Amino acid sequence: QKEVEQDPGPLSVPEGAIVSLNCTYSNSAFQYFMWYRQYSRKGPELLMYTYSSGNKEDGRFTAQVDKSSKYISLFIRDSQPSDSATYLCAMSLYQGAQKLVFGQGTRLTINP
Amino acid sequence: SAVISQKPSRDICQRGTSLTIQCQVDSQVTMMFWYRQQPGQSLTLIATANQGSEATYESGFVIDKFPISRPNLTFSTLTVSNMSPEDSSIYLCSVTQGGNEKLFFGSGTQLSVL
């Protein structure tokens, strides 16, 4: 079993829809949770960074962590075609960026 | 955040040859890492590039196959040695800054081995 499971998709939704992206994990010691966005032929860029359980909002993006269920989510409101990308979840035991464990990534397409 | 430049952006190589990938950062950074992103797979950490000393390799990766240099705080190289088609992948340089909490990536090198 992988430490971090993420449905690779592809996921296709109409413009304006609310998108829900999810990851599950097996190691209950993970404390730091991240979401990265990766456009084609580009490196991943950090979208959200959260610590422990709870919600964090940044514009149209909300990251949610449920440590009791070992489940994290990223919600995108009012989705735009420019949101079309691969979204990677990542998590770590440590505060630093070392030893990140990544999910496989979910390929998302927003259709105009 | 730091601007990270990787060269080459892509290359097609023959089996048995070696390729060196360069990573240049526009400011001094604390830590530099090399990741591999194979098709349909998770990003996997190859090694931490240590300034002035040998790199720290993750399980499954060895120095003979992936020698790494980091002569200063802004530059690192990763060599993929004696390549086989299984080495076809995207190789990504990444760095941390400040409090080391967040990881930033270069654009990657798309390597195809024939």
For the stretch B27-50, pLDDT in tens is: 988 889 999 999 888 999 999 998
A2 interfacial to chain B (CB closer than 8 Å): yes
**Chain A hits for B92, Cβ within 8 Å:** 43-44
DSSP B100: S
> Nearest CB to A43: which of B31, B45, B92?
B92
In chain B, % of residues over pLDDT 70: 97
Are A44 and B45 within 8 A, CB to CB? no
Cα distance between residue A35 and residue A48, in whole Å: 5
Residues 6+ apart with CB under 8 A from A70: A24, A25, A26, A28
Residue A52 at interface with chain B, using a CB cutoff of 8 Å: no
Query: What would the pLDDT profile of A66-92 be if each residue is shown by its tens digit?
Result: 999 999 999 999 999 999 999 999 999
Q: Which residue has the tokens 């390799």?
A: B57
Residue A42, burial from CB neighbour count under 10 angstroms (0-12, 13-18, 19+):
middle
* pLDDT per residue as tens, chain B (114 positions): 789 999 999 999 999 999 999 999 999 888 899 999 998 889 999 999 988 888 999 999 999 999 999 999 999 999 999 999 999 999 999 998 766 678 889 999 999 999
Residue in B100, B105, B110 closest to A96 by CB? B100
Q: Tell me the chain A residues in contact with residue B31 when contact means C-beta distances shorter than 8 Å.
A: 96-98
If you average pLDDT over residues A4-12, what whole number do you get? 92
Dist CA B5 CA B107 (whole Å): 7
Terminal Cα distance for chain B, rounded: 36
